[in-house]
Amino acid sequence: MTKCLMIQGTASNAGKSLIVAALCRIYTKRGYKVAPFKSQNMSLNSYTTKENKEIAIAQVLQAKAANIEPTVDMNPILLKPKGESCSQVIIQGEAVGNKDFFRKYDKTKATQKDIDNNLMDDEDYRIIAKEAVIDSLNNLKKEYDIIIMEGAGSPAEINLREGDLANMGAAEIADANVLLVGDIDKGGVFASIAGTFLLLDDADRSRFKGVIINKFRGKQELLCSGIERLEEIIEVPVLGIVPYAENLQLPEEDSASLKEHDWTKEFESNDDHIIIGVIKLPKIANFTDIDPFDTEEDVEVRMIEVHNYQDKIKDVDALILPGTRNSTEDIMELEKSGLADKIRELSNESKIPIIGICGGYQILGNKIYDKDHKESKLDEVEGLGLLDIESEFVREGKIVKQSLATIEIDEESDKDGMFHEIFSKINGEEVTGYELHEGTTNLISANPLFKIEKGIGNNDNDQLDGAYSENVFGTYFHGIFNNYNIRREFLNHLRKGKGLEERIGEDPFETSVENSLEKLANIVEEALDMDYIDKLIFDE
């Protein structure tokens, strides 16, 4: 019989995701078939599974920790914030509508705006969502010995308890014991833990069997008296104090935890390393595309704020415009701040490489058409004009694909260009990625970057993805720099331009993720009372 254990937190970013990943790795190494499960996740970072379904990136990392392929059942409800208190609702991997969680909504009283926004009725949402949670959980139980569940936010949000599917409602469906994680690095950990227990009703409180204090820096002896008093108050044991894990190179879940990459490495001067600027678009999404650069020893990833860009952008060696959940609004913000003109200047005068991914790719073009007003109230907006392409939001349904392509550089027409130099050694090689986009793109005079073997790419018709011209390129492929061949050749081009040594060898990103998971699992296993957790899983 499958056993379920749930990890909940006193607040968002308490460390639930990584504790789940660690437990997945620990029990997998002990020979059990283990799967992660998060019934409801709100995240801007998502991934396409092999079923061509969409789930949160956190469950992909947890599946990797368990050495299994991620599936849609590991995250049956995904909410992607769209702004104005509204989120896109993705049920078992497919977009089914939008939900405003800050108002009660009955479809019998719908306004025309509600209908245009494809807003979901409260009761319809609860029924569909609960059925999906039960179905996905049952599917996992057929295949796995242990399911490590993750909550969302805090179970102490008692105003949301009725109809809850993220925390105690999910624990009730799974009949799971629960461990509560508190983040001591934020301060107030004893109060947040005790307050959580105080606000729960007796039935919910009875599911909590232990507490984990997470992200501790310092001497644990200093906590002893506080832990003794806390255990008296909450009447469950503290199972361990997990130290703050330094230098883990693992994907972040959402923009609230987006790292300030500037702080991760120190260099003597700007001449001894590569500086890659990443435009922190107001509606940035799937920013894990830049994670592989963080594992390169001679690369600084520098986040550049749209309205405070002057100091950080002036000496970058390349610029990346990442994904966004609203490319039309973000290009308008770039224009308003003056950053759009600065990007054009860096491209046209300094000739530094400019890369756009998904929404960032659309922004690089001449125009974005939105006649159905899927993203804004405007029929069309001007792009940066750095690629001779046009994008539009007319296709019905969202493109969600795992994709495969070959690099398609026209060596004759581009023989003197930057991309011939970057890609000539790997022209024709395969690249993988995943697509999550609603817009499509047409090439005017820009050259295609990839020839699609599996997936959609620019549109449904031409089996091509992306575009390049002079020093600018873009693609719909998320995960493009996870392909070591592309990342290596791109960085070596930048290194050559700065007189730095070119690098070859094994992919540091793949090595770092695996090493980080092992390090995390070892830290957690050493810190926690695993005998007690074993009994929670197997003896009850």
CATH at residue 8: 3.40.50.300
The pLDDT, as a whole number, for residue 303 is 94
CA distance 283 to 338: 17
State which H helix or E strand residue 143 sits in: none
Whether 243 and 349 share a structural domain:
no
pLDDT for the residue numbered 114: 74
**Quick one: how far is CA 459 from the chain centroid?**
24
* pLDDT for position 373: 83
Clarify whether residues 185 and 278 are in a common domain. no
String of DSSP letters for 283-313 = TB--GGGGHHHHTSTTEEEEEEETTB-HHHH
Give the domain range for residue 285. Answer: 273-499
278 and 208 inside one domain: no
Same domain, 157 and 55: yes
Residue-level pLDDT at 84: 67
User: Does 242 share its domain with 287?
Assistant: no
Region 419-428: mean pLDDT is: 82
Give the number of domains in the chain: 2
Helix axes 16-29, 508-527, angle to 10 degrees: 90
Region 357-362: mean pLDDT is 97
Say yes or no to pLDDT of 415 above 70.
no
Residues 395 and 523 occupy one common structural domain: no
Q: Residues 243-260: pLDDT tens digits?
A: 988 778 787 655 545 554
Residue 422 has a pLDDT of 82
Residue 264 has pLDDT above 60, yes or no: no
DSSP characters for 427-438? TT-EEEEEEEES
Strand partners, 41: 78
Q: What is the mean pLDDT of residues 338-364?
A: 95
- CATH number where 290 lies: 3.40.50.880
- Mean pLDDT of all residues in 378-397: 90
| Neighbouring residues of 331: CB distance < 8 A, sequence distance ≥ 6 | 340, 363, 368, 381, 382, 383, 384
Least confident of 78-87, 471-480, 525-534: 78-87
Confidence of residue 460 (pLDDT cuts 50, 70, 90): confident
CB atoms within 10 A of CB 37: 26
Q: Is 168 part of any domain?
A: yes
| Residues 171, 109: Cα–Cα separation, whole Å | 33
Per-residue pLDDT tens over the stretch 39-70: 999 988 899 999 999 999 999 999 999 999 99
158 and 48, same domain (yes or no): yes
* Mean pLDDT across 265-276: 85
Per-residue pLDDT band for 216 (boundaries 50, 70, 90) equals: very high
- 259 falls within a domain: no
Amino acid at 396: E
Domain match, 436 and 528 both: no
Positions annotated as catalytic residues are: 358, 478
pLDDT digits (tens, 9 = 90+) for 104-143: 877 777 787 777 778 888 888 999 999 999 999 999 999 9
What's the pTM value of the predicted model, to 2 decimals?
A: 0.87
Share of the chain above pLDDT 70, in %: 95
Q: Are residues 284 and 137 in the same domain?
A: no
Q: What mean pLDDT value characterizes the chain? A: 91
Measured in whole angstroms, the distance separating CA 203 from the mean position of its chain's CA atoms is: 34
Do 341 and 194 have their domain in common?
no
Residue 422 in any domain: the answer is: yes
Residue 341 and residue 212 share a domain: no
pLDDT in tens, 291-345: 999 999 999 999 999 999 999 998 999 999 999 989 999 999 999 999 999 999 9
